[in-house]
Amino acid sequence: MLLFYVVWALGFTNTAPQFYSPAILRFFGVLFIIGLIITIISSLT
């Protein structure tokens, strides 16, 4: 799951300056939240 955050961070820093649009940011935000929820659920079980 740590790899997911590394990929997300790299993708975010690479994409944000080029396509700084609300849709892109919302997409990455949703991915981040889903990853966060999965991480929390995984740590609880």
The reported pLDDT for the residue numbered 19 is 58
Element (H, E) at 26: helix 22-44
Q: Is the dihedral of CA 15, 17, 18, 24 positive or negative?
A: positive
Check if the beta carbon of residue 32 is closer than 8 Å to that of residue 4: no
What integer pLDDT is reported at residue 17 of this predicted model?
Answer: 58
Residue with tokens 């079980």: 45
**Could you tell me the mean pLDDT of each successive run of 10 residues in the chain, 45 residues long?**
72 62 78 86 87
Query: DSSP code of 16?
Result: T
Instruction: Record the tokens describing residue 36, joined without a space.
Output: 């966060």
**Whole-prediction pTM:** 0.49
Q: Give me the residue spans of the domains in the chain.
A: 2-44
Query: Which tokens in the block code for residue 23?
Result: 């849709």
- Tokens at residue 34, please? 């889903």
